[in-house]
C-alpha cells in the first residue's frame, strides 16, 4: 500500500453519508477540502446534502474538524448539493463548482466564488442554459491553456429512471462569469451491449493541446475521445487501454509533467459481485494508480492503493502538495452499508509515486 490514511469521515445515525470532494491551496498556505455531507434522513444521491469543509494547516499532514460551508437551502429549489470541484480563477478568486438537484429530474452544475479564501461566497450561477439531468463528477472542471473553463457533463433522460447518457460540454471564456454550450450529443455508438451510455466524463489537456475525455460506462473498459479545438468537436469515443468496473476514473497532471490515473481496473463481466455480505460496494476494488511519462501514450502497470474486498473505493480527488499527493475518495464497506457512505483522505509521499 502507498502512503497513510490522514482522515476517515465515517457515517453515523445523524450523518449517514460523507461523500466525494475536492482540495485547493489557500493564500495563507492552508489546504481547504470541501465535500458533501448528508444528514439523518437518507443517504441516496437525491437526499438532502450540504457542503462541509475542513482545513489543513500543516501541508496535508492533518485536517481539522469539519464545518458547514454551503447549505442546499442557499441554492434556489435545491434539495441536494454534491460533486464539488475547487479551482483557482484567473482573477484570484476561488471557484467552487457543484451539482444542485431538484427531485429526481433536475441536476445542474453551478459555480460560486470567494475572494477571501472561502470565508464568504457569491450568489450561485448556473453553468447550463437549460434544465435537465446533467452529471458532472467531483474534481472534474478543466482550465485549458487558452484560459477556457470546460465542464464535461453526461446528460441523462429521466423518463424511466436515468437513461443512457450523452456527452455535453459547457464552457466559459470569461473566467466563469458566463457560460455557453459548445458541444452536445456525443454517445457511445460502438459500445456493444452498453446500457449506460456516457457516464461521468472527465477531461485532461495533453501537451499538444488536445483534450482527452475519458468516459465511465458498463462495457468493462473506460472509453475515450479527443478534441483539437478546445472542446467544441470530438472524435468518436472508442475503448481505451483502461479496463474498468462500472466506476469513474480520475486523472491529474503532476508538477513534474507526468500524468497519474486512478481507477478500479477489474471489470464485473467476469462474474464479480457488486455486493459484499449483501452490501453494495459496486465491485469498486481494488483502487489503483498508474503513471504516464509520455503524455498519456502509455501508462505503467497498475499499483494498489486500496485492496479490501469488502469495501469499495471511488470518486477520487487528487491534489499535489510540495512533498505529497493528497487523495480524497469514497471508501465505504460492509460496516458502512455502502461504498459511498465513508470519505477518506490519504497522503502519499511523492517519493513513493515512481
**Domains of the chain: residue spans and CATH:** 4-348 (2.120.10.10)
CA distances from 241 to 208, 218, 250, 296, 321 (A): 20, 15, 14, 10, 29
pLDDT per residue as tens digits for the range 172-192: 999 999 999 999 999 998 777
- The pLDDT mean for the chain works out to 96
* pLDDT category of residue 248 using cuts at 50, 70 and 90: very high
How far is 266 from 132, CA to CA, in rounded Å? 32
pTM for this predicted structure: 0.97
pLDDT per residue as tens digits for the range 114-130: 999 999 999 999 999 99
One-character DSSP codes across 87-105: EE-TTSPEEEEEEEEETTT
Give the 3-state secondary structure of residue 133. Answer: strand
How far is 250 from 267, CA to CA, in rounded Å? 17
Q: Is the dihedral of CA 199, 95, 33, 118 positive or negative?
A: negative
Helices (H), the chain: none
How far is 87 from 121, CA to CA, in rounded Å? 14
Give the 3-state secondary structure of residue 327. Answer: strand
Amino acid at each position: 500500500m502507498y502512503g497513510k490514511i490522514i482522515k476517515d469521515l465515517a457515517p453515523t445515525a445523524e450523518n449517514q453519508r460523507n461523500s466525494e470532494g475536492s482540495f485547493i491551496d489557500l493564500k495563507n498556505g492552508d489546504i481547504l477540502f470541501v465535500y458533501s455531507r448528508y444528514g439523518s434522513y437518507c443517504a441516496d444521491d437525491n437526499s438532502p446534502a450540504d457542503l462541509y469543509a475542513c482545513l489543513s494547516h500543516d501541508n496535508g499532514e492533518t485536517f481539522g474538524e469539519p464545518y458547514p460551508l454551503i447549505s442546499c437551502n442557499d441554492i434556489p429549489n435545491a434539495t441536494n448539493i454534491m460533486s464539488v470541484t475547487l479551482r483557482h480563477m484567473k482573477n484570484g478568486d476561488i471557484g467552487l463548482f457543484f451539482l444542485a438537484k431538484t427531485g429526481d429530474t433536475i441536476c445542474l452544475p453551478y459555480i460560486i466564488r470567494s475572494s477571501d479564501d472561502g470565508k464568504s461566497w457569491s450568489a450561485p450561477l448556473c453553468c447550463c442554459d437549460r434544465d435537465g439531468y446533467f452529471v458532472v463528477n467531483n474534481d472534474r472542471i478543466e482550465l485549458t491553456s487558452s484560459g477556457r473553463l470546460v465542464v464535461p457533463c453526461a446528460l441523462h433522460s429521466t423518463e424511466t429512471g436515468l437513461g443512457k447518457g450523452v456527452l455535453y460540454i459547457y464552457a466559459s471564456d470569461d473566467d466563469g462569469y458566463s457560460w455557453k454550450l459548445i458541444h452536445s450529443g456525443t454517445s457511445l455508438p460502438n459500445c456493444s451491449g452498453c446500457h449506460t451510455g456516457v457516464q461521468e466524463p472527465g477531461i485532461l489537456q495533453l501537451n499538444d493541446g488536445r483534450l482527452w475525455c475519458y468516459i465511465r460506462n458498463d462495457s468493462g473498459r473506460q472509453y475515450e475521445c479527443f478534441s483539437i479545438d478546445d472542446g467544441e468537436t470530438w472524435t468518436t469515443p472508442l475503448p481505451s487501454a483502461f479496463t474498468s468496473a462500472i466506476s469513474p476514473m480520475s486523472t491529474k497532471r503532476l508538477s513534474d509533467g507526468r500524468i497519474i490515473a486512478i481507477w478500479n481496473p477489474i471489470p464485473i463481466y467476469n462474474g464479480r459481485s457488486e455486493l459484499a455480505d449483501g452490501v453494495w460496494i459496486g465491485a469498486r476494488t481494488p483502487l489503483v494508480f498508474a503513471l504516464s511519462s509520455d503524455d498519456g501514450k502509455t501508462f505503467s502497470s497498475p499499483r494498489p492503493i486500496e485492496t479490501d474486498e469488502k469495501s469499495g473505493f471511488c470518486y477520487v480527488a487528487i491534489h499535489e502538495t510540495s512533498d505529497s499527493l493528497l487523495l480524497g475518495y469514497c471508501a465505504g464497506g460492509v460496516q458502512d452499508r455502502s461504498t459511498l457512505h465513508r470519505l477518506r483522505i490519504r497522503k502519499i509521499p511523492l517519493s513513493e509515486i515512481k
